[in-house]
Structure 1
């Protein structure tokens, strides 16, 4: 009788261990098309939506969940408990393009606490930060951002959670130091992670030029030169902001670049015209140039 009970206890114990193992196997996470998810998120943002930045307390609470999530943490349940009261939904999945296991935290579109979409490789320390501050205004920049993530393992992605015109422009995270987007970007920069910020412009803003490469408020580095050279090698006309005027598209007033400058971090501000962003082949060419430069310049 005792022997039978012991066998039952052992069997139940092994079953529990097996269940825990299965929970942590990345291949068993649900397949998710991250590009489609980001596209739907961006398309739902509107200029007339409400928006407010987080309070000091909300900002601290959000950072306590988002920074571990974005820097390789695996305590998914802790992030759910921390971020759900702030309006975030956490998704644990496997990207259908890269095959990588990811964690994604996002607020709902067009709500007052429209604080963003954040994507991280599960359990992997990031090597760079990819930023999309103006979804559904700088059209298709979220596609450039996700495709860059898919091609670069070890990337953290920040996508703004509100249209830049929402709340009379208060939601423009590139120019609002109190936005959660900026708080997260600053925290990651202080960990030594370089930032690549993606923007778009109308062709008439700088006719004859396809891409603007700038260091924003920071000093330009070999990364910026590599990006410009690789984009130009594909036949695209590039404006190098450290050499010439680029039609007020240099991003020198972006607060992420200003914060990066204050701590000596790397910040790359990339503008691309509407043709490049809307054409899948040209967009892929831009992504390939960025990938090559980042892999070459950042160990």
Structure 2
């Protein structure tokens, strides 16, 4: 299958007809169909049409189909909806592109790529928000196997104001052909299957992930998974490496713990081994561009942008519980450039000077808010020390922040997640050549 522009042929044909009958003719392109429905409800229906376990219903796309899909996604990312619609009609008759009004989210408008029913490929569903709050993609690679992530993913997409949502179109064990990527899975038995979106690169799911990252490398990617392992917390987070974790990941953990009612930890600080080091989307984001199928990401290339979330059924089954994770995402992941920055109360109005304000409340338990002002863009570190001068927590590490007022919450925990002892602590702000320290008291 190849992309073909048949407009020149059509125009020549029209001119020929015009010469014979003296009548004007123009090429007519069908309009993008519209749909109004509840996105979460629709995704539940889509899940019910997916190829099931050992059904052999997932059909691996050909190289030509992957190449053509890449062009479709590039066109969607450029927000050329009509162009994408034409490409879909021409190359993928098994798919439809809808201008979708989400009746469950204040009539928000998305563009939704969906495989037609009956599903005979299992290639997935893709949503692009017309208006969005965060440069963020929510990914559900195992919507059938990781129970209820097919409902959780569209809900988290809406609650975070994410820009994209991609969901696999098949059970991870639907096709017995191996993917060729390293590692094995107890889920399907033996090597990873080609229908396992998190461990296969020859899929529309992975190509879409690649193109989103290529379009904007600062796109956060939150991939939702499920687990039932007793050694793992209710929510276990990683960046795709066994030990290297970002400040953002630690901040997410702290925010979830601050909500209460759930356990949460990160790779390297937990007994949980589900660190996603063989996840091909994580590898790609973390710098492995040439062969993410068989190459581990090095610790020096791990970024904050890939967030792998393993969750118990307690979380996935209960919107009230996974909303704690969603709220944490909204606190940690910044709003898009056309929005107000998450950690800045007044980012567009530079402060008159650099200064660290008194934390509030103080004394505190369980959390206090630390606010500082920046006169100009500068590299910032915000750290907590005990009375012995030992650094126990990094809230910000070498991050360039915009001018204005910025606030961060400290929940009274060390970097390893342990609650600190009662007593006096020092909050130190380093902003370029500026340094200031304030005292704060944790009272149990």
1:48-127 to structure 2, matched below 5 A, reads 48-69=55-76, 71=77, 73=79, 75-84=80-89, 85-86=91-92, 87-98=94-105, 99-108=107-116, 111-122=119-130, 127=135
Deviation at residue 140 of structure 1 after TM alignment: 1.2
- 1:65-122: per-residue Cα shift (whole Å, max 9, x none)? 12332x350x333222212432211121211233311000012477452111000112
The TM-score, its normalising length taken from structure 2, stands at 0.56
1:173 and 2:181 correspond: no
Q: Output the CA distance in 1 between the equivalents of 2:78 and 2:125.
A: 17
Structure 1 residue 242 and structure 2 residue 268: aligned?
yes
| Inter-CA distance 221–207: structure 2 relative to 1 (3 Å threshold) | closer
Q: 1:123 to 1:142 in 2, by over 3 A?
A: same
Which digits, 9 at most, give the CA deviation of each residue in 1:42-76, with x for residues without a partner?
Answer: 2332111422332221112112112332x350x33
User: What is the DSSP-based 3-state SS (H/G/I as helix, E as strand, rest coil) of the residue aligned with 2:87?
Assistant: helix
Structure 1 vs Structure 2 CA RMSD: 2.7
Specify the alignment match of 1:137 in structure 2. Answer: 145
In the alignment, structure 1 residue 287 sits paired with structure 2 residue 344: no
- CA offset at residue 287 of structure 1? 2.1
Aligned to 1:4: none
Alignment partner for residue 238 of structure 2, among 208, 214, 217? Answer: 214
User: What is the SS of the residue equivalent to 1:106?
Assistant: strand
> 2:152, 2:119 → 1: CA distance?
25
8 Å CA contact retained: 1:72, 1:121: no
Is 1:35 the counterpart of 2:40 in the alignment? Answer: yes
Distance in 1, Cα, partners of 2:143 & 2:223:
12
Q: Is the 8 A contact 1:127 1:155 kept in 2?
A: yes
Secondary structure at 2:123 match in 1:
coil
* Residue of 187, 212, 220 corresponding to 1:188: 212
In the alignment, which of 267, 277, 285 is matched to residue 316 of structure 2?
277
Instruction: Name 2:251's counterpart in structure 1.
Output: 226
Q: Residues 117 and 160 of structure 1 are in contact (CA less than 8 Å); yes or no, is this contact kept in structure 2?
A: yes
Per the alignment, do residues 227 and 144 of structure 1 end up closer, same or farther by CA in structure 2, a change over 3 Å counting?
farther
Structure 1: state its 5+ residue gaps.
1-22
Question: Which protein has the larger Cα radius of gyration, Structure 1 or Structure 2?
Answer: 2
Q: In the comparison of the two structures, how many residue pairs are matched?
A: 269
Q: For the residues of structure 1 that align with 2:151 and 2:278, how far apart are their CA atoms?
A: 24
Determine the C-alpha separation between the residues in 2 that align with 1:242 and 1:72. Answer: 38
Deviation at 1:34, TM superposition (A): 0.5
The structure in which a higher percent of residues are helix is 1
Q: Which residue of 1 aligns with 2:284?
A: 259
Residue of 178, 198, 211 corresponding to 2:224: 198
CA gap 1:157/1:101 in 2 versus in 1, 3 angstroms: same
Instruction: Provide, for residues 259-299 of structure 1, a one-character-per-residue CA deviation record: whole Å limited to 9, x for no partner.
Output: 11116552110011011111232132232222222234899
Contact 2:75 2:81 in 1 (8 A): no
> Quick check: 1:227–1:293 contact (8 Å CA) kept in 2?
yes
State the distance in 2 between where 1:72 and 1:211 align.
35
Gap regions ≥5 residues in structure 2: 1-30, 177-192, 289-300, 335-341, 344-398, 402-444
Shift in alpha-carbon separation, 1:126–1:290, aligned structure 2, 3 A: closer
Pick which of 254-263 and 46-55 moved more.
Answer: 46-55
> Is the contact between residue 110 and residue 162 of structure 1 (CA under 8 Å) also seen in structure 2?
no
Deviations 1:198-256 (A, max 9, x none): 10112xx125721101111494222211211111112211131132331x321111000
Higher relative contact order (CA 8 A, sep 6+): 1
How much does 1:31 deviate? 2.6
